[in-house]
Amino acid sequence: MFQNRKSPLHNLRFLFFAVFLGTGVFFSGCASTPPPPPMPNFRPASVMTVNLPAPTTGTKRDIYHVVGPYESLWRIAIVYGKDMDSIMRDNQISDATKIKKGQKLLIRNTYGPRPNIPLYPTTRWTHIVIHHTATDVGNAYTIDSAHVNRGWERGMGYDFLIDNGTHGKSLGQIEVGPRWLKQIDGAHVKEADWNKKAIGIALMGNYSENPMPAPMMDNLVFLVATLKNFYRIPEQNIVGHRDVPGAATECPGKLFPWNEFKRRVRMY
């Protein structure tokens, strides 16, 4: 279903203004609340995003969304095609800045989440590393908690997670991690210089034991092609964890379909 979209970047200029205006509305709507503390390298005013079109088929339904690490209500509203005020009303939230990771939010009358990729103007990202979690169930919240418990106070080591339909997430849902939203180093490969230059994308599941479900592959291709085109990452710099020099792992799994993946990213 994505083959017709030759390049999502055609729409970037438009999306930039849409997002910029959206951000303005958001901040002006919360003028009475104090601004969040400044974070180094976190520049929301300059962020651009690329969306796949919102799904318009299937049945609209009410779902519960588990707030991911560092996820804002503004992002959640975009992902579900809702306006922030209605989500706040349905969940009796009076201050949009007060949502917490792990909190369950009722999202009424939605077709479900759509992929939304924030893109930051920088030259630091020259590589992409694909991982699998090698665990059967979870989401960005559970992985973030596990990584924090391991002593990584900056949270989930991957920049993006593609869900496998467990822990309340949709099959193929793309979750954006806190490190990507803050544009700080990842923690997904041992080699420190790779964590500075490589975007880490993890697939929930074990792809040495199971084939990857098609919706996960579709959204992985969309995500990787979007990042590759925006950051001008050469194809040979898009690798599996096992192909990082010095790595001793079969991640992202023996059954990961490299040929199909590379062909589809090239054609996107």
Nearer to Zn ion among residue 65 and residue 131 (C-beta):
131
- Residues at the interface with Zn ion (CB under 5 A): 131, 241, 251
- Give the Cα separation of 71 and 13 in Å (integer): 24
Nearer to Zn ion among residue 23 and residue 249 (C-beta):
249
By CB atoms closer than 10 A (0-12, 13-18, 19+), residue 6 is: exposed
Nearer to Zn ion among residue 189 and residue 227 (C-beta):
189
β-pairing verdict for 238-240 and 127-132 = parallel
- Alpha helices, H only, the chain: 12-29, 73-80, 84-90, 140-149, 178-182, 192-197, 214-231, 258-267
Minimal distance in Å, beta carbon 241 to Zn ion? Answer: 3
Which residues are bridge partners to 127 per DSSP? 198
Closest CA to 252 of 130, 159, 127: 130
Minimal distance in Å, beta carbon 200 to Zn ion? Answer: 8
Closest CA to 137 of 205, 238, 230, 237: 205
Minimal distance in Å, beta carbon 249 to Zn ion? Answer: 6
Nearer to Zn ion among residue 114 and residue 131 (C-beta):
131
Nearer to Zn ion among residue 98 and residue 254 (C-beta):
254
Minimal distance in Å, beta carbon 40 to Zn ion? Answer: 27
β-pairing verdict for 171-176 and 198-203 = unpaired
Nearer to Zn ion among residue 50 and residue 224 (C-beta):
224
Minimal distance in Å, beta carbon 217 to Zn ion? Answer: 17
Minimal distance in Å, beta carbon 172 to Zn ion? Answer: 19
For residue 84, give the amino acid letter.
Answer: M
